[in-house]
Amino acid sequence: MKILKVTLHLIEQPLLSPFTTSLATVNRRESILVEISGDKGHIGWGEVVAFSSPWYTEETIKTCWHIMEDFLIPLVLNQQITHPTELTTLFSSIKRHNMAKAGIETACWDLFAKEEGIPLSKAIGGSRVKIEAGVVVSLTTIDQMLFKIEEHLNQGYKRIKIKISPGKEYQIVKRIFDEFPNIPLMVDANSAYQLKDIHHLQALDEFGLMMIEQPLGYDDIIDHAILQKELQTPICLDESIVTYEDARKAIELGSCRIMNIKVGRVGGLTEAIKIHNLCLQHNIPVWVGGMLETGISRAHNIHLASLSNFTIPGDISASSRYWKQDIIIPEVQVEKGNISVPETRGIGFEVNVERIQAITKEQRIYT
Ligand code: MG
């Protein structure tokens, strides 16, 4: 394929309700949509999942725009690309900036699958026709969280995740299990703990949680290995794993027993697949993490989750979990806790151009 044109769309839309973690609250969500036009008349779509401020990783919407405009787009424009995996080499001179890279790389995967006339899941070697949906409950009052959990369980979600912070976690988790004794529950700390807080985390062992996600430093794998030895509950790493090499080292050290893979965090689908395959070899189950994304990134996540070692329901929920109106047609639906993997070519959803125009703050075309 040859990329003749790249269009960046900066959009902004309100979340249906504010989303709070131990680190930040998100009310309005900016995203950059990447539209890539190929020489065979097809269009590929990708999404930059960085936030407006660097609370999750160091990248932001503005850094991603800058890196794409000044460095990444010039590397792909008018290039003959045989396969999307070549972008890893093409981008290797640019250090990190994984979410910027993933925005373009995922658009190239969509374009490639469309040109081949196959669903993205087939292009990446996926086999599932349905994936299991999980959902995240924002950190609010315990009564509000219980209300939301009941709603999501009634909607059929197969796994509930809550955000926790030190000192309040035991009481919240206990209340949840008192109300819903059989709930498939996991907790995400977004790095809110230190090793000295180990007693808070050990206290959670009695509940048999599915996992504790990223309890310690956002860039740590050493202390997590120490912590995992002292915990019965599996640790899942999120923020700490930004490359295949991070994943390899975390597995060798015993820093986690489960891994969360986010396409944006690791720089694209190619690296995500490599990490998936590594984890498969080591019996580490994986799941797809969410970034409060629009339907485009959500679609990429659905296809990624069709790979065999994605055995744990991910943060892939219905479009209506976050948006009054999503930017894809049809919107992502959850039926009895499952999402169907689209069988039409590419990401398998149409992009709602009118909706995108209605929420666009800035658009730029590169040829
Ligand atoms: Mg997380």
How close is the Cα of 138 to the center of ligand 1, in Å? 12
189 plus 209 within the same structural domain: yes
Residue 345 lies in a domain: no
Residue 60 lies in a domain: yes
Residue 264 forms beta bridges with which residues?
A: none
CATH of the domain at 78: 3.30.390.10
189 plus 306 within the same structural domain: yes
Which of 128, 148, 134, 184 is CA-nearest to residue 17? Answer: 148
Tens-of-pLDDT digits for all 367 residues of the chain?
Answer: 999 999 999 999 999 988 887 778 888 999 999 999 999 999 999 999 999 999 999 999 999 999 999 999 999 999 999 999 999 999 999 999 999 999 999 999 999 999 999 999 999 999 999 999 999 998 889 999 999 999 999 999 999 999 998 988 999 999 999 999 999 999 999 999 999 999 999 999 999 999 999 999 999 999 999 999 999 999 999 999 999 999 999 999 999 999 999 999 999 999 999 999 999 999 999 999 999 999 999 999 999 999 999 999 999 999 998 999 999 999 999 999 999 999 999 999 999 999 999 999 999 999 9
Residue 347 lies in a domain: no
38 plus 141 within the same structural domain: no
Which helix (H) or strand (E) element contains residue 300? helix 295-304
How close is the Cα of 167 to the center of ligand 1, in Å? 19
Of 148, 158, 161, 163, which is the active-site residue? Answer: 163
102 plus 134 within the same structural domain: no
35 plus 107 within the same structural domain: yes
Catalytic-residue membership of 163: yes
How close is the Cα of 187 to the center of ligand 1, in Å? 9
How close is the Cα of 344 to the center of ligand 1, in Å? 31
**CA angle, 30 then 31 then 34, to 5°:** 155
Rounded distance between C-alpha atoms, residue 346 and residue 120, angstroms: 5
32 plus 76 within the same structural domain: yes
Catalytic-residue membership of 262: yes
Q: Looking at the 3D structure of the chain, how many domains does it have? A: 2
335 plus 357 within the same structural domain: no
Residue 322 forms beta bridges with which residues?
A: none
Per DSSP, the three-state class of 235 is strand
209 plus 163 within the same structural domain: yes
How close is the Cα of 116 to the center of ligand 1, in Å? 34
Residue 270 lies in a domain: yes
How close is the Cα of 315 to the center of ligand 1, in Å? 9
DSSP output for 314-340: BS---GGGT-SS-SEESPP--BTTEEE
Token duo for residue 214: 């990223």
Per DSSP, the three-state class of 157 is coil
264 plus 154 within the same structural domain: yes
Per-residue buried b or exposed e for 73-103, using 16+ beta carbons within 10 Å of the residue's own CB = beebeeeebeebbebeebbeeeeebbbbbbb
CATH of the domain at 274: 3.20.20.120
What residues contact 262, with CB distance under 8 A and at least 6 apart?
49, 238, 272, 288, 289, 290, 291
Of 174, 262, 274, 324, which is the active-site residue? Answer: 262
64 plus 170 within the same structural domain: no
How close is the Cα of 340 to the center of ligand 1, in Å? 24
Structural domain of 86 = 3-116+352-366
108 plus 58 within the same structural domain: yes
Residue 346 lies in a domain: no
How close is the Cα of 289 to the center of ligand 1, in Å? 7
Residue 266 lies in a domain: yes
285 plus 153 within the same structural domain: yes
Residue 237 forms beta bridges with which residues?
A: 259
